[in-house]
Chains A and B, each alone.
Chain A
């Protein structure tokens, strides 16, 4: 068997990665070039950023947010980071560590918010008290705090690390329900509006596999383990379904999402405008929110959530996981505490 016959499409040197959707292989240098060009194209096509912008990157410690921060700096943009400690046990501690080390090693500014320390709750506790899926409280908290930090810090735009797989999975879920309002709003740019900052997703032309490869080639250490609260969620199921299709028909994911943006989103634009009602200031925090029909003082979703859950004793992660997610969490904790023995099977059981 030959070590590797794949050659880089650009320079014909040995390849390090095969990208079936491009029907091509790439060496490290030209993989990075491909990624940079895809980000530049996304920024240009959707008028996402200018070099004068003060950019706030939503940093999780995962591959996508660290990669886009890295790419933006390489392309000459002025970008600082914000990390939110969500209180998801060891996972949050480790994720924050990856984000901080990335910033420290490069002399970058990383702002941090500790949800429990500054707002009196964490995601597991919010999930337990509200009896809703953890991702609901997590997403609402992150959106609110990134918006607030952008307003307070005078940033022009918030950048998130949503990639092609993320967007294709959300599109798939919205299409399964034909949720026209959500479909109409699923764009790579959300313009600034009534106190909400502009938000952009420059990685929408790049897959998760390409982003992980970027980090490995660039020597970026990131949180590889999955959020324990997300294990088994619908979003992951949609991604797996799309990757099964992609395996059989390379290019399907990008065609699904990018053709939606080009061909369907303009048709749906009127639905988006219809859904955008007038906003008023939250009577508690001042953030923009919808006016209640009841005539009561307006209170934003974040303040309502905080009002319900702040002050409760912290709930351990394990207590809000069920079924396979709890089993996976326990297995991960065990693995973290002791090296698995050689001869274990692929699902972690020890071969007899």
Chain B
């Protein structure tokens, strides 16, 4: 699946299927600091992600 990342904007390719938590663990991302959006909708930690899904991992921390 193609996963869109932010800060900076970029994309990575990850083999699916996997859960949201597995995806974040694979990318060494803290679940507390990110949300995962599948096809425009939020997905909880045990939500399944497939190769055909459009995925965005959105950081939630801001430093301003």
Contact = CB atoms under 8 A, between A and B. Distances in A.
B62 to A, nearest CB: 6
Contact of B47 (A6, A227, A231, A332): A6
Given A62-B62, A224-B58, A240-B33, A332 B42 contact: no
A18 interface: yes
Contacts of B45: 6, 18
B41 interface: yes
Contacts of A60: 64
A167 interface: no
Determine which residue in B7, B11, B61 has the highest number of CB atoms from chain A within 10 A of its CB, and name it. B61
B11 to A, nearest CB: 5
Contacts of A343: 12-13
A217 to B, nearest CB: 7
Given A1-B48, A243-B32, A346-B27, A236 B42 contact: no
A217 B8 contact: no
Contact of A208 (B9, B17, B28, B60): B60
A331 B43 CA distance: 28
A209 B63 contact: no
Interface in A223-245: 224-227, 230-231, 233, 235-236, 239-240, 243-244
B43 A344 contact: no
A336 interface: yes
Interface string A285-302: 000000000000000000
A224 B34 CA distance: 12
Interface in B3-60: 5-13, 17, 19, 27-28, 30-35, 37, 41-48, 58-60
Determine which residue in B5, B13, B27, B35 has the highest number of CB atoms from chain A within 10 A of its CB, and name it. B35
Contacts of B37: 216
Interface residues of A, number: 58
Contacts of A16: 41-44
Nearest to A19: B44
A25 B13 contact: no
A28 B17 CA distance: 24
A239 B12 contact: no
Given A225-B6, A346-B27, A247 B32 contact: yes
B62 A226 contact: yes
A59 B19 CA distance: 35
Contacts of B48: 1-4
Contacts of A213: 35, 42
A100 to B, nearest CB: 18
Closest 3 CB pairs of A and B: A230-B63, A340-B10, A332-B8
Interface of B: 2, 5-13, 17, 19, 27-28, 30-35, 37, 41-48, 58-64
Given A5-B46, A328-B7, A334-B8, 19 more contacts: A4-B46, A6-B47, A63-B60, A209-B34, A216-B37, A226-B7, A226-B59, A226-B62, A227-B62, A227-B64, A236-B63, A239-B61, A240-B33, A243-B32, A243-B33, A340-B11, A343-B12, A346-B5, A348-B8
18 contacts: A16-B41, A20-B31, A63-B60, A209-B35, A226-B61, A227-B64, A230-B62, A240-B30, A240-B33, A332-B8, A334-B8, A340-B9, A341-B11, A342-B11, A342-B13, A346-B12, A346-B27, A348-B10
